A and B are shown apart, each in its own frame.
Chain A
């Protein structure tokens, strides 16, 4: 277990440092939009690209690392070399992305929507190649890591179908209990695998066009591929977090969370729905077949049902009358699931086609994304970090951590609320400045909400730093105790 602890400690420290740096990039963007400091357009868009690509890469990697750690220490041994391969590849790829984007000014946005990476003329030509190669290398490492993890789990639990829980559908008594975390991790990582394979195809096509600019591809095909890859990828990061909530939360509520037939039905339905949620992003391409628009809306509506019934309801049952001794860890898990619920509900409303046409590509989109990733996934990460670093010192019971947590919640929800208000005010997304909007009321609303947003980011940042201080204190105390024996 020492090797696994060392790996996750290194990964945790890297994650916290990178995460804070990437938040800072987003902070600079909001300052630019708030007209508090003038940013060059090229600088804004390279910050935007690195913030988006960096966050999605770093967050998925850390989600994978947490699953790796918990699975390897509780259920089945994993090859530590593969763990280190994924970790070091993340560091190398992040360096490549930083060079390509900050120095090369590569700024097509984290989606890399075709054919923009090849059409701008404003970023250095080599920057596209460096970014694409960094992403391909990272994707390959993730593929290897996921395949290894799924292979070892399948071997331990008697096959892939058992990982999906199908043995519960056939028999009342099963030979080996399937931990909920393993089921949810499988249901998260298999779509991730599919997304990375599709993403790899996309990146190879981009690399071919980078090498031979005369080569061209169908933009509609690539838009479909990009959106499937990107949306599935961020969804899976969230569901990985839900997986370890299933494992760790019961230690605080002292209530078991068991796999059952109902659990298996709903999570298998979620597995399919993760794979189709991306369809709603294509409503504005009216050349898409009409059936796809209808089916996209229907399936997006239905996708809310399994998630709310089995997980959110399950969380309510965990907490209700639990006589829990409240500390930051269950608070973080509870609020993380709440963030997911709010973001999911907002997305379901938006997936109504008639609403989508007036909210699509406004600031509503970052509102949904940041509610999920900041007020959902990040809280799952923080819950794990406190669990891991403070387990021996019980530092998660301290007041400092709670103060930091409440600062984070207040700042975070204030921050995302500004995005929602901007979305409802039809403010476009990805505008470096609002001076080009010829409607004064729109410009003023956008700038004022951005300014408020900056204030909330400072609050959120303060909360993060307070919690980091608490984590560092706990880590140092544990190390001192370990050394003194």
Chain B
């Protein structure tokens, strides 16, 4: 998803079939178990399931188009004897434009291989970037 692309709730576009959209989101969420690159986009699109508009469906179709172009992209696991656990965590302060909640993302490496990743919107509203990162550090 491009930085200039912002999905919002106050959209006046025409309504679309909810069943189709939910089916698409469901399939994509299943895919995020192996394709971490679409995780953020899918999670963002999944938040609009209750009030659907044409622009949301276009965003989901864009994800499908990206997937079609990168079908043979996958995680590479190399043999290594290095078992050091390393974590990365990052928060996007007030990344959610509707509820002003922060988004957090974290990933863990074991040696040089990626073993775990997550993207989650906070349950509480943080008042500063430091607080957003603090909450994130506690949750990863």
Q: Do A and B associate with each other?
A: no
